[in-house]
Amino acid sequence: MNNSTTGMANERDMFSAEIVNRGIESTGPNAGSLTFSVRVRRRLPDFLQSVNLKYVKLGYHYLINHGIYLFTIPLLVVVFSAEVGSLSKEDLWKKLWEDARYDLATVLASFGSSFSPCPFTSCQGHVPFISLILHALNPKMMNSSLIKVTREQLMEAARKSGKFDEESLEFQKRMLMSSGIGDETYIPKAVMGGNPNTATMKEGRAEASMVMFGALDELFEKTRVRPKDVGVLVVNCSIFNPTPSLSAMIINHYKMRGNILSYNLGGMGCSAGIIGVDLAKDILQANPNNYAVVVSTEMVAFNWYQGKDRSMLIPNCFFRMGCSALLLSNRRRDYSRSKYRLEHIVRTHKGADDRSFRCVYQEEDEQKLKGLKISKDLIEIGGDALKTNITTLGPLVLPFSEQLLFFGTLVWRHLFGSKSDGNSPSMKKPYIPDYKLAFEHFCVHAASKTILDELQRNLELSDKNMEASRMTLHRFGNTSSSSIWYELAYMEAKESVRRGDRVWQLAFGSGFKCNSVVWRAMRRVTKPTRNPWLDCINRYPASLN
The CA–CA distances, whole Å, from 358 to 161, 308, 350, 352, 367 equal 30, 20, 11, 11, 20
pLDDT tens sequence across 501-531? 999 999 999 989 999 999 999 999 888 888 8
143 included as an active-site residue: no
Number of other CB atoms surrounding residue 122 within 10 Å? 19
Q: What is the pLDDT of residue 34?
A: 61
441 included as an active-site residue: yes
Residue in 264, 303, 478, 515 annotated catalytic: 478
270 included as an active-site residue: yes
Residue 376 has φ and ψ, to the nearest 5°, of -70, -15
Q: What is the pLDDT of residue 263?
A: 97
Adjacent-strand bridge partners of 513 = 349, 509
Q: What is the pLDDT of residue 66?
A: 58
The CA–CA distances, whole Å, from 239 to 37, 269, 301, 355 equal 66, 8, 10, 21
445 included as an active-site residue: yes
Termini Cα distance of the chain: 77
Residue in 349, 359, 443, 514 annotated catalytic: 349
Q: Where do the DSSP E strands lie in 107-256?
A: 131-136, 148-149, 185-186, 232-236
326 Cβ contact partners less than 8 Å away, ≥ 6 residues apart: 132, 134, 135, 136, 219, 277, 293, 294, 295, 296, 485
Residues in the chain, how many? 545
37 Cβ contact partners less than 8 Å away, ≥ 6 residues apart: 19, 20, 21
Q: What is the pLDDT of residue 530?
A: 85
What's the CA gap between 485 and 505, in Å, rounded? 9
| pLDDT < 70 positions in the chain | 1-128, 139-146, 194-196, 413-414, 416-431, 545
Residue in 317, 330, 359, 441 annotated catalytic: 441
531 touches 489 (CB < 8 A): yes
Adjacent-strand bridge partners of 349 = 513
349 included as an active-site residue: yes
Residue in 264, 443, 445, 531 annotated catalytic: 445
Q: What is the pLDDT of residue 501?
A: 95
478 included as an active-site residue: yes
Q: What is the pLDDT of residue 142?
A: 57
Residue in 237, 270, 317, 359 annotated catalytic: 270
Report if pTM > 0.85: no
For 328-361, b where at least 16 C-beta lie within 10 A, e where not — what string? bbbbeebeeebbbbbbbbbebbbeeeeebeebbe
| 390 phi-psi bin (left φ>0, alpha ψ -120 to 50, beta other) | alpha
